Amino acid sequence: MAPAATTPPTAPATQSDLLKSLQSVNVSPLWAQMARLNPALPNPSTIPFKWDYDQIRPYLIHAGNLVKEEQAERRVLMLVNPGKNAAPYTTDTLYAGLQLVMPRETAPAHRHSAFAVRFIIEGQGGFTAVHGRRVAMKPRDVLVTPPWNWHDHGKKGAGEEGGDDEPVIWLDGLDLPEFVHFPVHFNVHYDKSRYPAEDVDVNDSPIVFPWDQVEPKLAAAEGPWAAVPYLRKDGREIGRTIGALAERLDANTSSPSIRETASSVYHIIEGTGHSVVGEQTIHWKKGDTFSVPAWHRYQHFADSEQVYLYRFHDKPMLQALGFYRVEGADEESFADVW
């Protein structure tokens, strides 16, 4: 067997000529892109940003009147990060959207590969059914939809027990950006609008985390700042890709400052204050939502009243992949030693 050629058919005279010639054989020199592909620090493309609930809500309500049930599988306003300026990026790895269901409507049953966590913002008489278990949506509760579970959402109207003429609104959190990099997302529709389900008490359901159980834990925790994670009964995170927690911040106090590779989406449950995220100061109030991209130092500050925050993040995914880092920890502890 003859040895492989040691020079190209026409030897480029300069590095510039070499780079052009390499395109013909579909290769690219790493040395020309080493800094970009192996950066010294994490380099998320999304930015810290706040979505003002009072500004967005009127458009969402108007969409409820204009966009009818049969036209919208899911009536959602996606929170698009200006750094990416494209859906599904609220952070580089997390998607968030405000979803609305009008009285007597059904968001039809489907299932998908993505994991979803939902924080109920407002409205009475809403419900969701997940793989045969139907639970009530109560404000400030957190509900999860595990991957590939059939699920639909609905809202009772006036005249029905627990219903009225107002919509129900919640904050969706999904891992949709992952499927841009891993193009393996499936979405399947059920052949009826609702999947067969039975009513389940929210206090006995593994997919519901009632606020009236979380708030006492926050109150019992010592110190001016406390965090209570949403965990399964066996102590595991709510999902393989997404975790969530609730935080309490006493009046005129601040949370610890942290810098980590995890990115987060925060929603203000109650109170007013501000957060310093990287070099930006974000002022917020009840209902607002803001993003914390990876490796941006962040810290929260409460005004003259107690604050409650809801957060979902991508830490479970990063830990599973070995990508999680937090500033200040022993760097050797992150080494994958064989």
* pLDDT higher than threshold 70 for residue 5: no
Please tell me the CATH superfamily of domain 49-328, with its number: Jelly Rolls (2.60.120.10)
The residue assigned the tokens 């407002």 is: 122
* pTM of the predicted protein model: 0.94
pLDDT tens readout for residues 230-246: 999 999 999 999 999 99
CA 313 to mean position of chain CA atoms: 6
Comparing 19-23, 66-70, 127-131, 317-321, which segment has the lowest mean pLDDT?
Answer: 66-70
Residue 37 phi, psi (nearest 5): -85, -20
Q: Report pLDDT for 11.
A: 78
d(C-alpha 255, C-alpha 225), whole Å: 6
- The mean pLDDT of the chain is 95
- The mean pLDDT of 257-284, rounded to a whole number, is 98
Q: Report pLDDT for 188.
A: 96
pLDDT tens readout for residues 18-75: 988 998 899 999 998 999 999 999 999 999 999 999 999 999 999 999 998 777 789 9
- The mean pLDDT of 267-271, rounded to a whole number, is 98
* pLDDT higher than threshold 80 for residue 3: no
Q: Report pLDDT for 309.
A: 98
Residue pair 266/289 in contact (Cβ under 8 Å)? The answer is: yes
Q: Can you give the residue ranges of every domain in the chain?
A: 49-328
What H or E segment, with its residue span, contains residue 214? Answer: helix 211-220
* pLDDT higher than threshold 80 for residue 9: no
Structure tokens at 69: 């049930």
CA 25 to mean position of chain CA atoms: 41
Residue pair 100/63 in contact (Cβ under 8 Å)? The answer is: yes
pLDDT tens readout for residues 182-214: 999 999 999 999 999 999 999 989 999 999 999
Q: Report pLDDT for 212.
A: 97
